[in-house]
Amino acid sequence: MSLELAAAGLVHANGHRALRDVTLSLAQGERAGIVGPSGAGKTTLVRLLGTSLRPTEGQVGIAGVDPWRLSTRELRRLRSRIGVVHQNPPIPPRLRVVTAVLAGRLGAWPTWRSLVSLLVPRDVEGARAALQPLALDDRVFDRCDRLSGGQLQRVGIARVLYQRPDAILADEPVSALDPTLADEAVGALVAASEASGATLIASLHAVDLALKWFPRLIGMKNGQVAFDRPTAAVTKSMLHDLYANEGRTLPVQGVEARDEEALRAANVLVLKRSGCQ
């Protein structure tokens, strides 16, 4: 599924401008990471592409169509093809994990099957398979209010894996995970994208995680695109400029690292991904 923004901007009802003149295009199956300081517009960009927000300026294109020109039924059908991973998954606390995962396909199922699945899970093994790469397959029958924040994030990822969408949009999907689990979770999203040909775009706090897993990097700052380049072409100065207002630190998996230390690790990852090392 292709994703496009053309001179897109968004001003909230309170007058705050979240995005200004953003233009980008992702072809079907492409993978891109979004990085940038807090308040840069990363979440707003993801929400525009997921059609949960409508731009106040410019246009959005999803699979070659303007979603805001579709009928209600057509828009619902389009949204069922998009998997969204939230930083704080909107999962009812009393729901069991298996039901939360199977909910990934509610939009694609007929109403009767959706209702039955909420009462009696019909594909336990499918849910377990989606949870397995996230090390949660042993919690399939637990209630979600017994899980930690990081475990809930992984359930949200498993739901999208089970959904098998044409596009995956992830907004800070591993912010509550330790470095090892964060790396495995992003790897699971990338593997799903590669296996199905789904387009994948993810906003990430950890710069090194984005550099490792995504061949294309989009830097956001002050609601605008600061750079949009192949990861191997992202330089030290670009990253330094992106986070200049946050001092001499770059955010990496779970910690704030000194600029030189983070960039040294990031450069090694870039070299490996580009085949130069």
Residue range 167-191: mean pLDDT, rounded: 95
Please say if the pLDDT value at position 255 is more than 50.
no
Instruction: Provide the terminal-to-terminal Cα distance of the chain, rounded to the nearest Å.
Output: 33
DSSP, residue by residue, 171-191: ESTTTTS-HHHHHHHHHHHHH
Local structure of 143: helix, strand or coil: strand
Tens digits of residue pLDDT in 45-96: 999 999 999 999 999 999 999 999 999 999 999 999 999 999 999 999 999 9
Say whether pLDDT at 37 is over 80: yes
| Closest among 214, 233, 165 to 31, alpha carbons compared | 214
143: Cα separation from own chain's centroid? 24
Query: Residue 141's pLDDT band (boundaries 50, 70, 90)?
Result: very high
Does pLDDT of 23 surpass 70? yes
Give the tens place of pLDDT for each residue, 208-233: 999 999 999 999 999 999 999 999 99
Mean per-residue pLDDT, 262-274: 49
